[in-house]
Structure formats: C-alpha cells, structure tokens
Chains A and B, each alone.
Chain A
C-alpha cells in the first residue's frame, strides 16, 4: 500500500489513486475513450506495479508517470499511451519554461545591469530602476506566454533557434511599431491626452510644448519611436502667431511712449483687429505684405507721419527681437523636455525624431535656426542632448547649393552635427525619395524615423503616398549568415533556403497583422482615438483598426550581409567587387520577394536594413555554439549591422559611401549609412560637409557621421578627452582644486548637488518653463 509520493520540489504529499485514474481517463478521452472504470482499473495496476518496483522507497512523480506509460503500453492501450506521453511532454515544456522564466526574473531582481545583459538589451531603458525592472518582468513574461500559447509553433521555433528574429515580440498582441505624426492636423481645434483637453496652441512656446506632449502620448500607444516628418512646417504657424501678438504688444508700448496725449485712447488692439479685417493679413516677420502700410495709414489718421514711422519701427524692431528669443526658448525647452520626459511607466524617454530643413518661409526658417542653435548649446550644463534625433532634409534648390534659400541652414546643420552628432542627413534627391516629392506638399517629402525606418510608398492606396499618419506595423529579421554557413558555399542552395526563410517571415508578419487588425480604436486612445493614424478619425471607439492599419508597413529585415559574404565566398563587400555583386544580388532578391508579397496581399511589404541593437549579439552567439568559431563569420561578438561594411575594416569614407549607397535604393523600409570621423570635426567643417555631399551624390537616402563626444562634468568641457581634460587638466576620477575652477570662472556653489559647471548664468535667467493651458473636461 503506497501512502506518500515525492513531488518535483522534493516535498511529500499523500498518494491519491484518483489522480492517476483521472490522468489516464483524460488521455483516453482525448483519443475517444469513455470508460472511467477501465481507467480506474489501470490505475490499480499502476499502484501494484509501483509497490513492486519501488520497494521501501517513496515513489517520485516521475516514477509514477513512467509506470503509467508502461502499464498503458503493456495492456494494449497504445493510443491512450501516446496521448498521455504527449500531454506529459507538453507539461514538462511548460514547467521548464516557467522555471526558465523564474530564473530570468531572479536575475532581473538580484543582478545589476552591469552583470545582466538582458537589462541592457535596450540602451535607452534604465534596467536598474524600479520601473525599468517592472518593464522587463512584463516583457520577459509576455514573450514566453506568446511563445507557448499565441505564436504558430513553427514561427516560435524559428525565433527560438535564431533562424529569424521577431522584433518587439513582447508587444506581439498589443500594438504596432511607430508613427509619423502630423502635428498641424492634431493641433487644429485642440486635442485630448486622456488626462485633459489642450486648446489649439497660440504661440511658439505652446506649439513646442504640445509637440512634446503629442510625442509622449503617442509613444504610450506604440512600442517603437515617434517621428515628426515636417517639424519646420509644424512650428511655423506658432512663430507667425507669436510675431503677430508681439507686434501688437510693442505697437501699444510705442503709442504709450510716442503718441500724443489725445492718442492714448487709441487702442493697439482695436487698431490691429481693424487692419487685420481690412487687409486680411497679419503683421509678419518678413513684412512686405501690405499690413505695415495699412497700419501706417490708420495711425496717420491721428498722428503725424514722423511719429507713425517711429511707432512702426519700434514695433517691428522689438517684435522681431522678441520673436527670435521666444522661438529660441521654445526650442530649448523642447529639447530639454524630450530629454527628460518619460513614457511607459517612467522607465523610458520617448524615442523622438524631428525631420526638417525644407520650409523656406521666414517663420519655418526661424524655427529651424533656433532649434539648431539650442541643440548646439546643449542641455543645462552643456551636455549633449540624446533626444530628439534630428534629421535634416537635404534638397537641391532648397538648401543644398549656394544661393538656395535655406543653404545657410544646411551649413548650420553641418556645424551643429559636427559638435553634437545630430542632425543626421536625409536626401530627398535620391531617386527613390524624389519619386514621391511634390513641391508645395511637405507630406510628400520622405521622412525617416530616427533609427532609420522609412514609410512613404503605399501599395494599399497609391493615392496616399505620403508620410503623415503612417508608420511601421512590425518587423522580423532573417539570420543571413546562418543560411550562408549552412550552404557550405553552394550559392543555389543559399538562395533556396533564403526563399524558405522569406516565406516563413511573410507568413509570420501576416499572422501578427491579423492579431493587430482585430484591435479596436479604444485600445489606442491617442494614436487612433485622437486621429493621429491616417483615417482613424473616420472610426468610432469600438471599430476595429484593421483597414486603416493597411496604410502601414509589414517589414522584413536582415543582419550580417558582410558575414554572409565571408561565409559564401571568403570576402565581404568592402574588400571585393565579386562580393559586392553577390551582396547586391542577395539584397535585391529579398526586395523582389517583398514586392511580390505586397502584390499578392495588397499590403505594404517592405525591406529594412535592420537596426539591430538587441539582435547583433543574439544570432552570433547561437551560431557560434552550433557551428563553432568561423573566421570572419562567427569570430566576433556581433554580426555586422545590415548591409554595412564591417566596422573593423579599414576603408576610406568615400569608398564606404560608394559601397553602401546601392543598398539604400533596395531597402525601401529603411536604411542608414555611418561614417566614423577621427578627431574633432568642428575643427574641420569642410571635411564634414564633404562627407555629407558625397552621401548625397552617391544616392544615399539617409546618413550620419559619428565622432567621439566626451564631456567632463566637473568643468563642463565638451569635445574629445583623452587621458586628461584639456580645460581643467584633471584625469578621470581626479579632483581639481577649487581655486583652479574659480580661476576658470566655472564654479558657483559649494555643495554636492551643484558640483561643477553650471552653464551661463545670464542664459539661465532667461529660461522659461513651457506653460500650458489645460482645461479639464
């Protein structure tokens, strides 16, 4: 008589024969059986056999299950046995996954991010904070849940084993990647954040502040980044409103000072209203629209000519000066906000990107100029802003050549980028971008998500090939080097297997899209509820979003073209023309397959040069375990980013640009090329600009220049710091005598919170918070 059993965790529990009978009956039912008495009889046999085999020992759960299998098979219940074994295996897998998940949780809980790579998977989430860790618990738990219960087992296996990588898997059932926000449409008439209604903004400060709030609110509805595709055009009306108001205010001041006694009742406000009504114009930055003349005539009704001119000169001079200042402060506050505001339960700064450079109106130009200047100045203590990502849109006839209306801003963009690594540069004249460009329609100017995602073409609705209100839905990357390793140099086999992986990715993207499509507007209170996503304003809260999501992109990515070529023919595309030709063949094949899928399903399938932060180490780790260390393929801790020439390979800047440019045209879902510059590029702006121009001429779509930016928080020096700081002379970790800092004029207060450099006191005094009119509804 068995009385006790040993559970998996080592504890003892009473032996219950009914549990065995129930398990057998369950397996029998699954194969069509109905006879509980027979199950009970089999359970009795199990107990008898156990008594024989276990002897004096208390049987374990595993022993009992082995015995059940044995009894079922030997008594001729083969089908029931098979079901029982399947069920048992499934339970084992779930248990192992639970154990694995608990191990992940344990490491997240008790290891710092220095020790734990999972916590550093995304460099912009601080894995050491409470909210950052909570986010990782959720994310890791969600991934395992989807793997067990949601994903097609074939997709789950391919992801688990590293044939493909399903990006943002933790959000599989929740939302889509990113969106390009049309701020002007959003601002028109005001909008609601879910916590209060915001009126249509009335000056540049509130335009900038609301831009931040829109980015933050939308970020909470999606798992990727947020981009403003035409930031200059979006801010220009704010500048216009600010100038109009400041012109009126300063006219009032001028009348107060210069007007005669009996002119005091002349109210600048009434006059302004009258002239605006009569001319249909506002006072504007550039002047010359007839407003000033009409105002002069009206003032002339009561004032002499000389006083009239004096008042107008005064109003214009100070309106101009104060508008510039207000715009600078608005842009400074925006940069500051985008570096400090948090989203997603406080653990992450919104991934924000601003595209600009082509608005040639005086107001748009002022916004661009002041944003660049604020970025150049840096944050409060001169730190380099991490966000937003700036993308300067380069366009012939607009800002590329001497004589173009925004050429000065292009030069300024180069100068700021040489100091702060932003802006990056996008090229609207690249043929694949130019094909969408319609002058006078900023929504047809190709924009980029900072990380590189590109959404403009539209197979689903070719009449809407625009950037605004659209974004990526999800993307999945292929482990190209593995296919190459497994091909053993057989190029035909490589392409055959690549096609099989592409089929799998298409299938998986469609499966995810079906889940996304079933969501409702109310699942995305801002993105859909406020009509940010294209056509979502035509839907009600309980409508599903599937149809409007079709404007988004379903995207396949790839990693490690360089290692792939090494594995296939022994050379990568930076070192051999043969490899380059094969590389182009591979990538253009992937693009063709995406075009075909788009044709077949009527959806926007696209190919992206994967931005592989979390992925660069994962694939190579698995592949090294499976295939060993292969020189030039698995011998480093990362696979090279997308189509890039390997970072370790010495190559001239112009040659690198020429090698990578052709891939930009093929990767319609997004791309970027980097050049690493040596030294401090602010000392060599010609070289910096030459690289940008070379990118444009080579047909690159989106490029950026990397250079080291170091900063000493003690003295505030920003530039390149080797062993010692060029300004205060200290080494890392060393102290500097207080007297020395005071001599350099860099030290204000003596306590720990105000240690070190504190910026320019005069500028600090000018800073103003963004005030918002929030009306509770």
Chain B
C-alpha cells in the first residue's frame, strides 16, 4: 500500500441547510428562489446589547 496516496480528490463538502422546515443535504437541490433566499440570510444576534440597539430602531 502506497503511503503517499491522496484520498478524496474531487470530493466536495456537504452543506446542510433548512428550507421551509425540511433539511436539505446540499444547496444544489434548492430551487433558484430558495437558493437566493438562503444566500440573503443574515444571522440573528443573541447578545443583550444588540437587543437594546434594536429597540431604538
């Protein structure tokens, strides 16, 4: 057995996301609109300070 052999060439990472309640294994099974929606998502801050800032908005 060769020790310098490379494993996993051409193999991508899996990225699991949720759409309308269901998990989906990879983004390429999303339809175009859901892909756009996933792309636009921003994270929601859970710290208290940001909460106060939001209230002033």
Q: A120-B29, A649-B42, A652-B50 are in contact. Are A616 and B37 (CB under 8 A)?
A: yes
| Chain A residues numbered 457-514 whose CB sits less than 8 Å from any CB in chain B | none
A616-B33, A653-B46 given as contacts; is B51 within 8 A of A747 (CB)?
Answer: no
A617 touches B32 (CB 8 A): yes
Q: A136 contacts the other chain (Cβ, under 8 Å)?
A: no
Chain B residues with CB under 8 Å of A732's CB are 12-13
CA distance A736 to B40 in the complex (A): 33
A-B contact count (CB 8 A): 191
A interface SS class: loop
A452→B10 CA distance, assembly (Å) = 38
**Number of interface residues, chain A, beta carbon within 8 A:** 78
Please tell me if the beta carbons of A647 and B7 are within 8 angstroms of each other in the complex: no
Give the CA-CA distance A383 to B36 in the complex, in Å. Answer: 25
CA–CA, A575 to B1, complex, Å? 62
Q: Of A34-42, A172-180, A276-284, A701-709, which stretch is located at the interface?
A: A701-709
Distance in angstroms between the alpha carbons of A730 and B7 in the assembled complex: 10
Chain A, 647-684, CB within 8 A of any chain B CB: 647-656, 672, 674-678
B contact residues, range = 35 or more
How many angstroms from the CA of A750 to the CA of B1 in the assembled complex? 9
Interface residues of B in 17-57 (CB under 8 A from A): 17-25, 28-34, 36-37, 40-47, 50-51, 53-55, 57
A451 touches B21 (CB 8 A): yes
Would B37 and A654 count as touching, CB distance under 8 A? no
- Which of A383, A638, A672 interacts with B34 by CB under 8 Å? A638
Provide the bound-state CA to CA distance between A373 and B28, in Å.
Answer: 29
Q: Are B9 and A735 within 8 A (Cβ)?
A: yes
Interface centre among B7, B34, B41, B47 (most CB of A within 10 A): B7
> Which residues from chain B contact A616 at a C-beta distance below 8 Å?
33-34, 37
- Which of the segments A181-189, A545-553, A606-614 contacts the partner chain? A606-614
Q: Render A616-650 as a binary contact track against B, CB cut-off 8 A, 1 for contact.
A: 11101000000000000000111001000001111
Which residue in A450, A651, A712, A713 is a CB contact (below 8 Å) of B44? A651
Q: A688: shortest Cβ distance to chain B, in Å?
A: 9
Q: Which residues of B contact A655 (CB under 8 A)?
A: 51, 54-55
Q: Are B31 and A648 in contact (CB-based, < 8 A)?
A: no
**Residues of B contacting A677 in the complex (Cβ-Cβ under 8 angstroms):** 43-44, 46
Residues of B within 8 A of A706 (CB): 17-18, 41
Chain B residues contacting A387 (CB-CB under 8 Å) are 23
Residues in B whose Cβ lies below 8 Å from that of A528: none
Does chain B have a CB within 8 A of A102?
Answer: no
**Chain A residues, Cβ within 8 Å of B51:** 652, 654-655
> Are A653 and B13 in touch, CB under 8 angstroms?
no
Cα–Cα, bound, A612→B18 (Å): 13
Q: Across the two chains, which residue of chain A brings its CB closest to B47?
A: A652
| Residues B36 and A351 in contact, CB atoms below 8 Å apart | no
The answer for the CA separation of A422 and B16 in the assembled complex, in Å, is 12
The verdict on A603 contacting chain B, using a C-beta distance below 8 Å, is no
For B52, give the chain A residue with the smallest CB separation.
A652
Residue-by-residue, is A192-207 near B (CB-CB < 8 Å gives 1, otherwise 0)? Answer: 0000000000000000
Closest chain-A Cβ to B43's Cβ sits at a distance in Å of 4
Chain B residue at minimal CB-CB distance from A720: B15
| In the complex, per-residue mask of A697-739: 1 if CB is within 8 Å of any chain B CB, else 0 | 0000000101011111110000001000100001011111111
Partner of A675, one of B23, B44, B54: B44
Known pairs A389-B21, A617-B32, A651-B54; A736 contacts B42 (CB<8 A): no
18 contacts between A and B (CB under 8 A): A117-B31, A124-B24, A384-B16, A422-B23, A451-B22, A616-B37, A637-B32, A637-B33, A638-B33, A638-B36, A641-B37, A648-B42, A652-B44, A655-B51, A655-B54, A678-B45, A706-B41, A738-B7
A421-B23, A451-B21 known; 7 other A-B pairs, CB under 8 Å?
Answer: A613-B31, A647-B41, A652-B46, A652-B47, A733-B10, A738-B1, A755-B8
